[in-house]
Amino acid sequence: MENLLDDKLNRGFDELMFQLSKGITIAQYSKGERWRGFEKVGAWKSRFGYQFQIYSNDHFIDNKPHFHIVNAGVNMDCKFFFDGTLIQCINSNEPMKKIINEIKYFLSVENNRETIINLWNQKNPTLIVK
Protein backbone atom coordinates (compact mmCIF):
# COMPACT_ATOMS: atom_id res chain seq x y z
CA MET A 1 0.00 0.00 0.00
CA GLU A 2 2.83 2.38 0.91
CA ASN A 3 4.46 2.12 -2.53
CA LEU A 4 1.09 2.80 -4.17
CA LEU A 5 0.74 6.05 -2.23
CA ASP A 6 4.34 7.08 -3.02
CA ASP A 7 3.71 6.28 -6.65
CA LYS A 8 0.40 8.17 -6.70
CA LEU A 9 2.02 11.35 -5.34
CA ASN A 10 5.02 11.19 -7.64
CA ARG A 11 2.98 10.42 -10.76
CA GLY A 12 0.44 13.12 -9.94
CA PHE A 13 3.07 15.80 -9.46
CA ASP A 14 4.92 14.66 -12.58
CA GLU A 15 1.70 14.94 -14.61
CA LEU A 16 1.13 18.48 -13.30
CA MET A 17 4.71 19.43 -14.22
CA PHE A 18 4.26 17.87 -17.68
CA GLN A 19 1.05 19.82 -18.35
CA LEU A 20 2.71 23.06 -17.24
CA SER A 21 5.69 22.34 -19.50
CA LYS A 22 3.24 22.11 -22.42
CA GLY A 23 1.93 25.63 -21.73
CA ILE A 24 -1.09 24.84 -19.58
CA THR A 25 -1.31 27.27 -16.65
CA ILE A 26 -2.28 26.30 -13.12
CA ALA A 27 -5.53 28.22 -13.60
CA GLN A 28 -6.32 26.25 -16.77
CA TYR A 29 -5.29 22.97 -15.14
CA SER A 30 -7.55 23.61 -12.15
CA LYS A 31 -10.46 24.09 -14.60
CA GLY A 32 -9.74 20.70 -16.17
CA GLU A 33 -7.89 21.81 -19.31
CA ARG A 34 -5.18 19.39 -20.43
CA TRP A 35 -2.66 19.17 -23.24
CA ARG A 36 -3.39 16.12 -25.33
CA GLY A 37 -0.92 14.39 -27.58
CA PHE A 38 0.33 11.01 -28.62
CA GLU A 39 3.15 9.46 -26.71
CA LYS A 40 4.77 6.07 -26.76
CA VAL A 41 3.47 4.12 -23.79
CA GLY A 42 6.02 2.45 -21.58
CA ALA A 43 6.83 1.97 -17.94
CA TRP A 44 6.30 5.19 -16.00
CA LYS A 45 9.41 7.15 -15.24
CA SER A 46 9.56 10.64 -13.75
CA ARG A 47 10.09 13.19 -16.51
CA PHE A 48 11.34 15.95 -14.23
CA GLY A 49 13.04 14.01 -11.42
CA TYR A 50 11.03 15.36 -8.47
CA GLN A 51 10.09 12.82 -5.82
CA PHE A 52 8.04 13.17 -2.66
CA GLN A 53 9.80 11.52 0.27
CA ILE A 54 8.32 10.82 3.68
CA TYR A 55 10.68 8.96 5.91
CA SER A 56 9.74 6.30 8.47
CA ASN A 57 10.27 7.22 12.11
CA ASP A 58 10.36 10.92 11.22
CA HIS A 59 9.57 13.85 13.51
CA PHE A 60 7.36 16.92 13.57
CA ILE A 61 8.82 20.34 12.88
CA ASP A 62 7.03 23.10 14.78
CA ASN A 63 4.44 20.45 15.75
CA LYS A 64 3.62 19.77 12.07
CA PRO A 65 4.40 16.89 9.70
CA HIS A 66 6.65 17.52 6.73
CA PHE A 67 7.91 15.88 3.56
CA HIS A 68 10.94 16.23 1.36
CA ILE A 69 11.02 17.02 -2.34
CA VAL A 70 14.13 15.41 -3.74
CA ASN A 71 15.59 15.86 -7.20
CA ALA A 72 18.97 14.16 -7.50
CA GLY A 73 19.46 15.59 -10.99
CA VAL A 74 19.72 19.13 -9.63
CA ASN A 75 21.06 18.12 -6.18
CA MET A 76 17.93 19.31 -4.35
CA ASP A 77 16.45 18.07 -1.08
CA CYS A 78 13.97 20.50 0.45
CA LYS A 79 11.58 20.11 3.38
CA PHE A 80 8.01 21.37 3.15
CA PHE A 81 5.00 21.43 5.43
CA PHE A 82 1.88 19.76 4.04
CA ASP A 83 0.48 23.14 2.94
CA GLY A 84 3.49 23.64 0.64
CA THR A 85 5.37 26.06 2.90
CA LEU A 86 9.12 25.70 2.37
CA ILE A 87 10.95 24.91 5.61
CA GLN A 88 14.51 24.55 4.38
CA CYS A 89 16.70 23.13 1.66
CA ILE A 90 19.44 20.79 2.82
CA ASN A 91 21.59 21.39 -0.24
CA SER A 92 22.49 24.80 -1.59
CA ASN A 93 20.13 24.38 -4.54
CA GLU A 94 16.85 25.90 -3.39
CA PRO A 95 13.84 25.23 -5.57
CA MET A 96 12.76 27.86 -8.01
CA LYS A 97 9.78 29.97 -6.97
CA LYS A 98 7.84 28.32 -9.81
CA ILE A 99 8.34 24.84 -8.30
CA ILE A 100 7.21 26.07 -4.88
CA ASN A 101 4.01 27.44 -6.44
CA GLU A 102 3.43 24.14 -8.25
CA ILE A 103 3.89 22.19 -5.01
CA LYS A 104 1.45 24.52 -3.20
CA TYR A 105 -1.14 24.06 -5.95
CA PHE A 106 -0.62 20.29 -6.02
CA LEU A 107 -1.17 20.09 -2.26
CA SER A 108 -4.26 22.29 -2.44
CA VAL A 109 -6.05 19.44 -4.23
CA GLU A 110 -7.95 17.51 -1.55
CA ASN A 111 -7.09 14.08 -2.94
CA ASN A 112 -3.35 14.84 -2.96
CA ARG A 113 -3.50 16.20 0.59
CA GLU A 114 -5.30 13.05 1.75
CA THR A 115 -2.70 10.86 0.04
CA ILE A 116 0.24 12.61 1.68
CA ILE A 117 -1.44 12.45 5.11
CA ASN A 118 -2.17 8.73 4.66
CA LEU A 119 1.43 8.11 3.61
CA TRP A 120 2.73 10.01 6.66
CA ASN A 121 0.41 8.05 8.97
CA GLN A 122 1.52 4.71 7.51
CA LYS A 123 5.19 5.54 7.82
CA ASN A 124 4.93 7.27 11.21
CA PRO A 125 2.25 5.45 13.21
CA THR A 126 3.30 7.12 16.48
CA LEU A 127 2.73 10.60 15.00
CA ILE A 128 -0.73 10.29 13.44
CA VAL A 129 -2.07 13.31 11.55
CA LYS A 130 -5.81 13.83 11.03
Domain limits, the chain: 2-35+48-123
Contact 102, 12 (CB under 8 A): no
Over the chain (130 residues), the average pLDDT of each successive run of 10 is: 82 94 95 83 76 91 95 88 92 77 94 95 93
Q: Where are the beta strands (DSSP E) in the chain?
A: 51-53, 66-71, 76-81, 86-89
pLDDT at 31: 95
Q: Is the pTM of this model over 0.95?
A: no
- Tell me how far apart the alpha carbons of residues 89 and 103 are, in angstroms, rounded to a whole number: 14
What is the structure's pLDDT at 36?
Answer: 86
Cβ atoms of residues 107 and 83 within 8 Å: yes
